[in-house]
Amino acid sequence: MNSDPADTFRQEARELLEQLEQGLLDLEHNPDDADLVNAVFRALHTIKGSGAMFGFADVAAFVHEFETAFDKVRKGLSPITDALVAVALDAKDHIHALIEAPDAAEGAGEPILFALRQIVDGDDAFPAAPMAMPAPADDVPLEPTGKWRVRFMLPTDALVHGTNPMLLLGEIADLGPTEITAFVDNVPTLDVIDPEHCNLGWQVDIEHADPTAALDDVFMFLKDGMELSIEPLAIAAAAEPELAPAAETILDILAEETEAEALAAELAPIAKSSKQPAREQKEKPEAAASTSMRVPAERLDELMDKVGELVIAQARLSQLAAQSSDLNLKTVAEELERLSSGLRDTTMGIRMVPIGSIFSRFRRLVHDLSRELDKDIEFITTGEETELDKTMIERLADPLVHLIRNSVDHGLESAEQRIKAGKPAKGTVKLSAVYAGAEVAISVTDDGAGLNADRIRKKAEEQGLITPETRLADQELYQLIFAPGFSTASAVTSLSGRGVGMDVVKRTIDGLRGKIELSTRPGEGTTMTLRLPLTLAIIEGMLIRVGNGRYSIPLSAVEECVELPAEVATHSRGRNFLDIRGSLVPFLRLRDLLDIPGEPDAHQKVVIISSGEGRTGLVVDQIIGNNQTVIKQLSKLHSGLETFSGATILGDGAVALILDTSRLVSFGQAHEEKFRSTGKVAA
């Protein structure tokens, strides 16, 4: 293995820290959920054990103190409060800092631990060991006897995960003189026994000054799911003077180990046949879990590039086969087309990631903003299972942060204002994702005051974006919030006021070939919806020809194709609407927009595409057909051509530009307005 073990630990620790954060945030809303408390404790315990194993001593030491304090919560000795969750989240951040940059985080942990223990037990010192000792009975002397009674029962699935109870008992026996007995009351009869389940329990009387810390190390990876008690022998004997476990001593067990193994081997077929259905059901989820593996993102990118090249080669082969009369060549081309199409879909599926992987991190953002702004906020997420290309997921994080911060800071009113308006004091921010055809729609909705058109207009006039005479519809006015430097905040704070947040959102979404839709109702709230393509790598396109140039239109934007009426084709200007089944659809002539010389074909076609909330027609000379379009980015020299989202290589080696339909329509409308204005002036 060439991978660094420390990097492996960091990767696993990030997942555990994410689980820890989600568990703590869930506890804030469900403080009485014992399962959540145990999940948080397990995450802490695993980080501590793995940190110690991989040499992260500072991490293990800090998490040990964190775990020690949280153990009181698990035992019900300290309640879950908002203050406890806040400090625990700070502790989680410090653990992350210790893992990623140990030197930078040095010395920052003690104040967090001090605040944590103040909340948990009101004391500035932790107990000497993580296990609290029970109070001695009145008739038992307080002096330590040096003898302890340990009782434990392993998790039922301990044997399945490779735990050997004999080795554990041997480690305990190494600590000092011991007397070990086993509890067999829970062992089922032979006809129903499952040899993979651990049904035994053990009692160990040991002579030791204080075996608590040593036993903690023995059961490091089992403690969370097992039953364990440690008491001074005198106290245990006083509590249960007539305890008589029904078992042999450990000496007898060790002496008969070989016979036990032989008996187990002899009984295994019997147990297997009696428990076969249950075991088969049990093995299925385990098999599913073992099929997943981590793959570096760079390898997926490289695989996607290779598949893209294969798609281009396949398109070229299909074109050659179409021009040939060789049946064998046609057969091979069809087979390769089928295989490359399947490989393309599989590769794209590998790159798809549930959007919930970034949704979860925004819970912490809303939690922190709620405390900072003193607003009571309920954060709701839906559609976490919706999948999107991993490159889209990575680039979506920042825009969504800005949208959520905007909703919390500008959208939601204070509790007093909400009550005066007849709303609940607690505001709501909802983050959702749904499939919308070949797109994914991600919405951020708040139930705040909504956008104030008058205030936006006033600010826009102050910043020179519009003049007092400019007439804009409300929807056009709302789009001004995405202008660079625009902000309606009266003062610059740590959250808003600089006018860069929504500008970042707009530029990022445009770079992803997406679009932003905004709807608002005064006094009721605002919804901002991001519409994004599923992938940025390979798309289905419609190949068209205008003049001698070929272009590709994303097939997801195409609704239908119609013939351009002869009477409309004769007018180069003026009439730019088509009557399609009783509905007027505006159209744009690509030959004019792209300034292509020459005369148009006699029978032009119109490709009807969806643009925003309406439909627009694009007049072309010829519709060639559909093709798999591998998107290649334009060079820096051509990156300013906003009407094109990229280029693709055709089967004959020629390059076809990919039309960005939304920007093309906007450009076309501006072009038409300019023409009308120029025409009026000339007249």
The domain that contains 95 carries what CATH number? 1.20.120.160
pLDDT at res. 122: 58
Which is nearest to 651 in space by CA: 516, 543, 501? Answer: 543
Looking at the structure, tell me whether residues 496 and 552 fall in a common domain: no
**pLDDT recorded at residue 570:** 64
The C-alpha atoms of residue 261 and residue 341 are separated, in whole angstroms, by: 54
Q: What is the mean pLDDT of residues 257-275?
A: 45
Query: Which of 500, 533, 566 is the last residue in one of the domains?
Result: 533
- Supply the pLDDT for residue 132: 36
Question: Using CB atoms within 10 A of its CB, is residue 572 exposed (0-12), middle (13-18) or buried (19+)?
Answer: exposed
Residue 458 belongs to a domain: yes
Answer yes or no: do 393 and 526 share one domain. Answer: yes
- Report residue 537's pLDDT band, with 50, 70 and 90 as the boundaries: low
Q: Give the three-state DSSP class for 362.
A: helix
Pair 70, 158 in one domain: no
pLDDT at 128: 35
Residue 281 lies in a domain: no
Report which secondary-structure segment, H or E, holds 382. Answer: strand 377-382
Strands 227-232 and 147-153 come out as: antiparallel
Q: The dihedral of CA 48, 50, 53, 55: what is its sign?
A: negative
Res 189: pLDDT = 81
Contact 432, 383 (CB under 8 A): yes
- Residue 437: what pLDDT? 62
Could you count the other beta carbons within 10 Å of the beta carbon of residue 272?
Answer: 13
pLDDT digits (tens, 9 = 90+) for 416-456: 999 998 889 999 999 999 887 667 889 999 999 888 888 88
User: Mind giving me the DSSP string for 104-155?
Assistant: TTTT-HHHHHHHHHHHHHS-SS--SSSSPPPPPPTTS-SS--SEEEEEEE--
Residue 128 inside a domain? The answer is no
Position 291 scores a pLDDT of 57
Structure tokens at 626: 């559909």
Query: Could you tell me the maximum CA-CA distance found in the chain, to the nearest angstrom?
Result: 113
In order of 22, 96, 147, 500, the CA distances from 362 in angstroms are: 10, 17, 51, 20
3-state percent breakdown (helix, strand, coil) of the chain, nearest 5: 45, 20, 35
**Count of the separate structural domains present in the chain:** 5
In terms of domains, do 342 and 371 share one? no
| Interatomic CA distance for residues 177 and 206, integer angstroms | 6
CA nearest to 593, candidates 610, 614, 576: 576
Residues 551 and 678 in one domain: yes
Query: The CATH number of the domain where 305 resides is what?
Result: 1.10.287
CA-CA distance, 378 to 408, in Å (whole number)? 11
pLDDT at 256 over 50: no
Percent of the chain with pLDDT over 70: 80
Judge whether 130 lies within some domain.
no
Q: Where among 499, 515, 533 does a domain terminate?
A: 533
- Chain segment 29-78, per-residue pLDDT in tens: 888 888 888 888 888 888 887 787 777 888 888 888 888 877 778 777 88
> What confidence tens digit (pLDDT) does each residue in 322-373 have?
888 899 999 999 999 899 888 888 887 887 888 887 887 888 888 888 888 8
Specify the range with the lowest mean pLDDT, choosing from 140-154, 170-184, 359-373, 515-529: 140-154
Q: Are 270 and 341 members of one domain?
A: no
Q: Please give the single-letter amino acid code of residue 179.
A: E
CATH code where residue 381 lies: 3.30.565.10
**In CATH, what number is assigned to the domain containing residue 639?**
2.30.30.40
Q: Does residue 139 lie in a domain region?
A: no
Are 364 and 25 in contact, with CB atoms under 8 Å apart?
Answer: yes
Residue 291 lies in a domain: no
Per-residue pLDDT band for 272 (boundaries 50, 70, 90) equals very low
Tell me: pLDDT of 240 over 60: no
Token duo for residue 556: 């997801």
Please list, residue by residue across 609-634, b when 16 or more beta carbons sit within 10 angstroms of its beta carbon and e when fewer do.
Answer: bbbeeebbbbbbbebeeebbbbbeeb
Report the alpha-carbon distance of residue 189 to residue 499 in Å, rounded: 73
Amino acid at 612: G
Where would I find the H helices in 54-81?
57-74
From residue 573, give the alpha-carbon distance in Å to each of 546, 568, 586, 589, 672. 18, 9, 13, 10, 9
Alpha-carbon gap, residue 666 to 353, rounded angstroms: 32
**Is 393 in the same domain as 524?**
yes
Q: Do 385 and 399 touch, CB atoms closer than 8 A?
A: no
Residue 261 phi/psi, 5-degree rounding, is: -65, -40
Range of the domain at 524: 355-533
Let me know whether 465 and 371 are in one domain: yes
Q: Give yes or no: residues 304 and 251 share one domain.
A: no
The answer to whether 667 touches 613, Cβ cutoff 8 Å, is: no
Residue where a domain stops, chosen among 533, 554, 570: 533
146-174 mean pLDDT: 82
Contact between 456 and 330 under an 8 Å Cβ cutoff? The reply is no
Instruction: Report which secondary-structure segment, H or E, holds 430.
Output: strand 427-436
Kindly report, residue by residue over 241-250, the tens digit of the pLDDT.
444 444 444 4
Q: Measured at the alpha carbon of residue 597, what is the angle toward residues 592 and 603, in degrees to the nearest 5? A: 70
Give me 478's structure tokens.
Answer: 């709302």
What pLDDT score was predicted for residue 676?
Answer: 63
In whole angstroms, what is the distance from residue 24 CA to residue 44 CA?
12
- What is the reported pLDDT for 551? 92
Dihedral over Cα of 235, 241, 245, 250: its sign: positive
Residues 153 and 258 in one domain: yes
Which amino acid makes up residue 605? K
Distances (CA, A) of 585 to 578, 604, 618, 621: 5, 16, 10, 19
One domain for residues 379 and 476: yes
Residues 395 and 491 in one domain: yes
290, part of any domain: no
pLDDT value for 331? 92
Name the DSSP class of 553. Answer: E
Integer Cα distance of 120 and 3 in angstroms: 40
Q: Which residue has the higher pLDDT, 201 or 186?
A: 201
pLDDT band at residue 131, thresholds of 50, 70 and 90? very low
CA–CA separation, 132 and 230 (whole Å): 9
For residues 281 and 274, give the distance between their C-alpha atoms in angstroms, rounded to a whole number: 14
Instruction: Determine which of 105-119, 261-275, 543-557, 642-656 has the lowest per-residue pLDDT on average.
Output: 261-275
Distance CA 659, CA 553 (A): 5
Asked, for residue 135, whether it belongs to a domain, the answer is no
Angle ∠(524,525,528) on CA atoms, nearest 5: 150
| Contact assessment for residue 439 and residue 661, using Cβ atoms and an 8 Å cutoff | no
Q: What is the pLDDT of residue 292?
A: 66
**Cβ neighbours around 375 below 10 Å, total:** 20
